Each structure stands twice: as structure tokens, then as C-alpha cells.
Amino acid sequence: MIGVMGRNRFKKKPKAEKKAWAWPAFFSNWRVYVRRGSVVLVLVGALSALTWALDRPVKVISIDGSFQRVSPQQIEKAVAPFASEGFMSANLSDIQRAVETLPWVDHARIARRWPNSLRVSVTEQTAAARWGESGLLNTRGELFVRAAAHVPAELPRLSGPEGTEAQVAQRYLAVQGRMQEAGLRIAALRLDERGAWEMDLDSGVTVRLGRREVDERIDRFIHTASQVIAHRLTEVNYVDMRYSNGFAIGWRNQATPALSGARHPDDADA
């Protein structure tokens, strides 16, 4: 008896159904894209037309600020080339940069004012100290004028190697408040090529600070040395703070300095 065989290996597989061909999504939705594109073109055209209509010549340049070193005429001259571009097409960032390149201008803000004017608000630099013979430093320690025609005589004079403007200014700004509280005023602060510091008081006394522990030596001068010389400032030539635990006073009419506290100078600063 012949048994029932398994599945017929020769049975034909059913043919796969062919998928119906479909148009790409773009072609099937072309009307939607056309409508959207038309709206965009209309908006761009309307915006361009509005810009063209508003881009009238600038007729008024109003200038705002407290002026001592900068004249409104200088500012107007810097703005004029850009204003000729038109009310809407004038590049406000370019105008700001042009105004801020003027000496004594710290910051400028430019704004449009309907229908045909530009408003320029200017903040002048504040000179905190002079640098060298005729340079000027602002309150951030930035050298904003290298050769000023007029240097205020009351400004302290700072000096140091090229590129140390900010370092010297920061030390001065950090110390001057404490000195004023002690009834002293810094007339000059110097940093030499070796990295040693000196300061002159408005009384004519020079304070030698050296290269090491400068802040600690300034504190020691304020709290100790200045008390010793307070009533004899006109007789003192210099105070040398380059000692580990004391200081030396150089009197104007005395050949050798008088030592207070310490007997040995710091050799590293000598």
C-alpha cells in the first residue's frame, strides 16, 4: 500500500500581485504647492513694495548725549555717508561702528525714527588715568587715545611695558580706593621691564613695592608706614617696602635711609 506523500514539491507558487503605479506626491498635490508658492510670492512682493515706498531719504539726524570731548558735528559727519542709503536700507550696525571709531566715543546706539530720521545716542569715554605722556585709559583699563591733544592734569599717570596697560590700570583701580580712605592719593603708578612696581603719592613720596607680594606690601604701607610718615611727608623722599617684615624710609636731608622693623631687604627685589 502506497502511503500518502507529503506536500507536492512541484506545486506552483501563486504569482505576486503587481502594484499599481502611482504618481509622485508632488504631482498629485501640485495644486496645493502652487497655491502656497503664490502666497509666498505675493507676500515677498508686498514687502518689497512697502520697503521701496518707505525707503525715503534720511532728512534728520538727531544726536543725543552729554558731550564734552565729542562734538555733534563729528558724529553727524560719521553718519552722513550711511544716511544717504535711505531710511530703510541704511545699515544701523555699520553706522554704529563708524561712530564708535571716533576718539572719546565709548558706545553708540542707532535707531530709526519714522518717517525719515535717525537717532544717534552716544556715551563718551571716561578717562580714569593717563598712560605715558599723552595716552588715556578708561575705567576698564583700555587705552582709547594714544596721543591726546589735551590731557587733564588731575589724572594719575600710569606706565609700563607695551601691552601691560590693562594690568597696570587694574592694579591702580584696585588700590586707589584704599589709599583715599587712608588720606593718600596716587599721582603715578609704574611697572618696569623687570616686573617691579613703584607708586608716587601726590605729596612727592615714592613707594617702592618690588616684584613680590605687591598687594601685601601695599596693605602694610597703608596700615603701618603711612602712619609713621603722616606728619612728615614733606621730609620723606621714598619709602621702601621691599623688606620681609618692615620698611625703610629715605629722608630728603639724610644720606642713609632709616629702617623700621626689618634690617634685611628682600634680595629677590633688590
Question: Is there a domain that residue 2 lies in?
Answer: no
Query: In terms of C-beta density within 10 A (0-12 exposed, 13-18 middle, 19 or more buried), how is residue 87 classed?
Result: buried
pLDDT per residue over 100-146, tens digit each? Answer: 999 899 999 999 988 888 999 999 999 999 999 899 999 888 999 99
Q: Could you tell me the CA-to-CA distances from 107 to 38, 44, 63, 126, 140 in Å, in that order? A: 45, 35, 13, 11, 13
What pLDDT is stored for residue 105 in this prediction? Answer: 95
Reduce the DSSP state of residue 234 to 3 states and report it.
helix
Query: Which of 73, 97, 124 corresponds to the end of one domain?
Result: 124
- Alpha-carbon gap, residue 66 to 269, rounded angstroms: 47
The CATH number of whichever domain residue 91 belongs to comes to: 3.10.20.310
pLDDT per residue over 219-264, tens digit each? Answer: 999 999 999 999 998 999 999 999 988 899 999 887 666 666 655 5
Domain count, the chain: 2
Domain of residue 66 covers 60-124
What percentage of the chain exceeds 70 in pLDDT?
A: 74
Q: Do 119 and 138 lie in a common domain?
A: no
- Alpha-carbon gap, residue 130 to 111, rounded angstroms: 33
Q: Do 180 and 240 lie in a common domain?
A: yes
Yes or no: say if 237 and 245 are a contact pair by the CB < 8 Å rule. no
